[in-house]
Amino acid sequence: MQQTGSQILFTALKEEKVDTLFGYPGGCVMDIYDEMFRQDIRHILVRHEQGAIHAADGYARASGRVGVCLVTSGPGATNTVTGIANAYMDSIPVVILTGQVPTAMIGNDGFQEVDITGITRTCTKHNFLVRRIGDLHGTIREAFQIARSGRPGPVLVDLPKDVIQSVTTTDPFPVAAYPGEEAPQDLEGLCNEALKLLVKAKKPLILVGGGVILGKASEEFRTFVRKFQIPVVSTLMGLGAFPASDPLWTGMLGMHGAYYANMAVSQCDVLMAVGVRFDDRATSKVEAFAPHAKIIHIDIDPVSIDKIIRTDVSIVSHCTPALQTLLRLSNAQGLTLPEGQIHAWHNQIRQWKAEMPLSYCRNRNIKPQYVIEKLHQLTQGRAIIATEVGQNQMWAAQFYRFDEPNTFLTSGGLGAMGFGLPAAIGAQVACPDRLVVDVAGDGSIQMNIQELGTMVHYGLPVKVVILNNLYLGMIRQWQELFYGSRYSQSDMTQAPDFVKLAEAYGIKGLRATKPNEVKRVLKEGLETPGPVVMDFHVEPEENVFPMVKPGTPLTEMAFGKIRTAVA
């Protein structure tokens, strides 16, 4: 049977059960797009290649499947680099298909040639340059396996034009059988060591990270937590792994974490960290992080173990088998944490929550925190929330209480502005029956605002909530706090009229300028069919608090001009 390289590519994609490509055509991928015309696969035409990779990323986060984007060579490929680095930092499984000049021209500085495998070597889990049509099918299958196995991540496959155009005579390709991942050696022994530490603890705490969500281990995690009745704190990426409505929820820790979360970490005697890499925004001053605690660390990536925080028990494993083993062993041995043993600890955490809840001061202007609170109320916490990066991201993390995994999509490790809108598009494609909201700032939304056109093109009913403070908000906040209020190049007053801009794209635009308009605008926007842009003119110089200054202990939290807590 004769097949072109393009046909082989689609054969492999179908075997991987790919149903959607996010992409943008160009010279070196014209043959792929021509073959696509005859294929039963959905293609989402974005307005910029960065939108394609962020949308594939959002698709992967919301669905738990591998996201795929397709771009041409040269600028098409380089425009994906920010999104690739973003997926790499947050361990998101994405396959990036890039066009390349014909193999004979590689290295000759041909039109739209770049060494994209060289450029992305440090921000991909792996990348390939396919030089022979005979390698194409196996390479695509291997790319997907690498992307989703172990610690997930992006994999790039560079496709020279002549390989895609070539024709080969071959039998039908067998579906490759990949061996399952082996369980770590002595998993039971390590889990028993962890349980010995936990059952002796008087102030135990569990720190949950994005690895629990990526590893589809949320149910096992919740069962384990409730069995032992141990309080839970979360990283930014772990939000949703454990329900914020549960009494054991103790909030997000870190630079903008809750007072009670940071205090719990700083006072606990055993800390069990599951699916985390101890990012600096979570730990702040490493020497002062959980200073009284024995540390148990469960993570799939051996590189993360003892890299930043020294551990007492380290378990290199997917979260699911590790938690299943912990549950099985604890059930077999009848292990629990007696209520009397940790009663005082629960009372202490309740006291911290009562003394210093997440709060803000209201006045005549719209407070961004209030918008997020009302958004949570009107959606009953059931929306998929994508965010841009900056203050809007932190307010969403603090005030939208996430109960389910795969519902908070944000750029954690890289902090890539412009992520939220295309990520929301990807999530809406993956979950067509879900309400998807992009919480944005007026600065960040402008980085990929052209993707409003993609929303209209495909009738995607994404709701965009812009917290419009006419500043690069987080930059301005740092300038206020650490640079003598010298607002250097953070003024964004020359912004577009977002309502008129939305209408120019054929999208309904709404605006609120007073607190009593917030609920009405949100309600109308959420109930309107199709895409909507809601522009909320919020307090211009509102800050995100609490805030831990970089390099200081988590116990040193600023709460603005009103109060500062140092414990």
User: Residues with catalytic annotation?
Assistant: 49, 111-112, 161, 474
CA angle 383, 384, 390 (to 5 degrees): 115
Q: Is it true that the peptide bond before 496 is cis, omega within 30 degrees of 0?
A: no
For tokens 């695509």, name the residue.
Answer: 140
| 536 touches 465 (CB < 8 A) | yes
| 57 touches 85 (CB < 8 A) | no
State the angle between helix axes of 339-355 and 259-267 in degrees (0 to 180), rounded to the nearest 10: 140
C-alpha–C-alpha distance, residues 381 and 403, integer Å: 7
Residues with Cβ < 8 Å from 541, sequence gap 6 or more?
469, 471, 476, 480
| 50 touches 79 (CB < 8 A) | yes
C-alpha–C-alpha distance, residues 519 and 117, integer Å: 49
C-alpha–C-alpha distance, residues 232 and 449, integer Å: 37
| DSSP 3-state of 155 | strand
Q: What is the DSSP letter of 85?
A: H
| DSSP 3-state of 252 | strand
- Write the DSSP assignment of 203-246 as a string of letters: SEEEEE-HHHHHTT-HHHHHHHHHHHT--EEE-STTTTSS-TTS
C-alpha–C-alpha distance, residues 269 and 202, integer Å: 7
Which structure tokens are listed for 374? 């009302």
Q: What is the 3-state secondary structure (H, E, C) of 440-469?
A: EECCHHHHCHHHHHHHHHCCCCCEEEEEEC
Which structure tokens are listed for 256? 């903008």
C-alpha–C-alpha distance, residues 499 and 503, integer Å: 6
| 170 touches 11 (CB < 8 A) | no
Using CA atoms in the order 40, 41, 45, 51, what is the torsion angle rounded to 10 degrees? 180
Report, in angstroms and rounded to the nearest whole number, the Rg of the chain calculated over CA atoms. 24
